[in-house]
Every structure is written in structure tokens, then in C-alpha cells.
Structure 1
């Protein structure tokens, strides 16, 4: 495994995040890289942590469970993020392993997580997924429909709803993805106004468009393939 390439890729991605933040007049420290280790071996995930990327994202609960257990030693402490779809029947096992659940895509799932948070000292935070690209295959609230559920969202007070999450449409690049990021920010601002919730986070941007996402206010960017370029033989 080419660990030097992982370190170089990480440095490059962090540099690009910082440059995008500065272009937008933002402090780069306000953007967290979530390094996506989906379908990557434990050794590569561990190498990322050792290089300084301690926030790791997984799409599938079962894969997250396996990696979290394999990397539970103190030398490879990671903060795990579930960034993909979470079925209600997998929520209980996933709940104590993660710091943030990014793709809470329905009021039903939010209420399930709110119930699980009862009596828990430090439950994970959640972002609500909004389908800003209006694609049938994507999960999440349809665009501004989340505003209709504003009161019900605010009533889930045991779980920390910290922001919103989106994915740009398939096949877009940084510029064609930008309207989805702008729309998410606008919806967040209106949901904040209606509920009084702080909602500090916008989880948006992946390897092909994260710089545009940062320029439009992303605080959590989910980058995978850019971190692993040239790593495999």
C-alpha cells in the first residue's frame, strides 16, 4: 500500500479546501473533511487516520460496523460518520458507533433516532437530507418540502439536528452542481428562521465538486476518490 501517496493526496485535498474557503472569505478551519472510506480496506482507512484525517465516512452501516470494530484501538481512533442511507432496523446498532449521521432522510427516521437518544449522554448529531436535485432515485425530503415539517423537526429535541445534507445530481461538475449547494443553504436559512434552531452545518460536496461546495458554505465535505488516487497498484 502506498501510504506516502495517501498522505500527499490528503495534503492536496486539504489545501484545495483551504483555498476554496479563502476565495469565499471564510476561515478554512470552519470546514471539516470527512474522508470517505467506502469499499476501501481497513489498512487504507487506518493510514488516513495516521496521516491526520480522523473524521471517516462510510456509506453502508455494515461496513462501518466492521471498520469501527477493527480500528477500535487507541492508536487509530477515528470519528465515524455514516453518510449513506440508514434503515430504521440498523439504527440501534449504528447509533453508538458514530459522531454524525448525515443522511437522515425522513421524519420517521429522525423520530427513531430521537427515541434512541433518550437518556444517552452524548448521542450522535444528525443532518437532514434534502433532495435539491429533484432526482427520483435519491432519498431525502424533496427540496423545500422539509419546510412543511419544520415544527415536527424542531420537536425532536433529544437528538441534535445540526444541519442539512445534499448530493448534487449525477453527472454534474463543480459549476453545474453549484445550484444544488446554493439551494441547500437557502433552505437551511429558512428552516433556521422558522424553528430558531442553529443548524450550523451544511454537509455537501464530494470529490468532483467539493471546492464549489465550500465556496457556497459547506462545513462538512465528503471526499473519497480524490484521497485514493494512485494508491492502488
Structure 2
């Protein structure tokens, strides 16, 4: 996709975000647009950065690392895909945020490697609100106990929650998924856990991000409506 097309897409998406914020009494600047570049190459990712998008989302380590190594000094990088424990070493130090912390073994690996590097890792806890077997994430009923455990790990900072809604033709059908994640966030606030401050809501993709914003999303992860697909 050429830069002019991407620029038009960005303007269209920003206008749509502003409309969704207006409907829900929010400010557009409170919604972070993450350009998901997992299906495009380095040149398109560079074009996105050149056009002023500051946040880049990738979900496959083996493809993300070469992009980061060329472009990582620009923007803020988010790892948004399922993360295997043996790939943690490749993600730390490259990605500012990990959106997919969803199990004890992964938390322990992040904590161990982050401690060795004397760094603190910003993590969002992934919750499988919809209960789809094809999706990763904690069950909502597991969230509180898991958050309590992670909050005791000094090199992990819980910065939010993430979910993926089912892909449906009518985004209104998944509004309850986003509403439930917001409710879970509010539940965590009431616990006043250590290492937990403001909590982001990473929810909403190309087909449903307007509904997600209306329900409180602070991060939306958009690929096809911005950059299309090259692979």
C-alpha cells in the first residue's frame, strides 16, 4: 500500500475515533491508535511511522525483531500476540508494552529475565472474555488471583487489560465483551494492588473499534483499515 493511501486511511480512522469519542463523552487524545503491522513489511511500517503514527503493534516475534532492529529507535512498540516463554528474551528491551500476559509460567519468565536486566516490563493481562476456545487469555474468574500474583513481581508493572472480541458482522454483538473488560478493570482498581496504577483497556480491532471506544478502550489495535495486508 502506498503512502498516500495509508495517509488517507489514517485520517479516516482518526475522524472515526473522534466521532466515537464524541458519542461517548470522551476525548480523542485519550485513545491510543496502535498500527498493527504484522502483515506488512519494513517499508510499509516505515511509511506508517513517517506519517506520524507513534505506536506500532506486532504479534510474531520472528517477523517483528527484524523490523524493530531497523526501525525500533522510532515510535513505541507493542507486542500484542501470544508470547511463548522461550521468546521472552527477544521481546524484552525491544517492546515497551506486552499486551498478552496470560499465564503463570510466562509471568515467571518475564520476571526472571527482567530482574537480570534490572528493568521493569509494562504488561497488560490478556483476558478471554468471550470464552472462545480459539483465543488465548485468562478466564475472567481467574483474573483477580492472577493479578495479585503478578503484582508481587517487582520487575513487572501491570498497566492494563487486553481482550479480543469474536469476529462478527455486526459489532454491536460484541459490545458486552468490551463492557465486561471495563468492569474487570474497575474490579482491579478496587483491590489497590502494588505495581498497579492507571490501567489501559486494549480492546477493539479494525471491525469493532468504534464500539470498543464507546465502552472505554484506551488502546485500539488496527491493521487492515490502516495498512492492509501484504502477506
TM-score normalised by the chain length of structure 1: 0.91
Matches within 5 A, 1:1-233: 1-72=1-72, 77-118=74-115, 120=117, 123-171=120-168, 173-196=170-193, 197-229=196-228
- Whether the aligned pair in 2 keeps the contact of 1:164 and 1:199 (CA below 8 Å) is no
- Aligned partner of residue 146 in structure 1, secondary structure: helix
Q: What do you get for the CA RMSD once the two structures are aligned?
A: 1.8
* Unmatched runs of 5 consecutive residues or more in structure 2: none
Query: Is the deviation greater in 63-72 or in 97-106?
Result: 63-72
Closer/same/farther in 2, CA of residues 115 and 173 from structure 1, 3 Å limit: farther
Distance in 2 between residues matched to 1:2 and 1:52, nearest whole Å: 15
* Unmatched runs of 5 consecutive residues or more in structure 1: none
Distance in 2 between residues matched to 1:46 and 1:123, nearest whole Å: 28
- Whether the aligned pair in 2 keeps the contact of 1:188 and 1:199 (CA below 8 Å) is no
- Whether the aligned pair in 1 keeps the contact of 2:150 and 2:156 (CA below 8 Å) is no
- Structure 1, residues 42-72: CA drift from partner, whole Å, max 9, x if none? 1111100000112110110111101111224
Closer/same/farther in 2, CA of residues 172 and 127 from structure 1, 3 Å limit: farther
Distance in 1 between residues matched to 2:220 and 2:86, nearest whole Å: 27
Closer/same/farther in 2, CA of residues 172 and 155 from structure 1, 3 Å limit: farther
Closer/same/farther in 2, CA of residues 150 and 90 from structure 1, 3 Å limit: closer
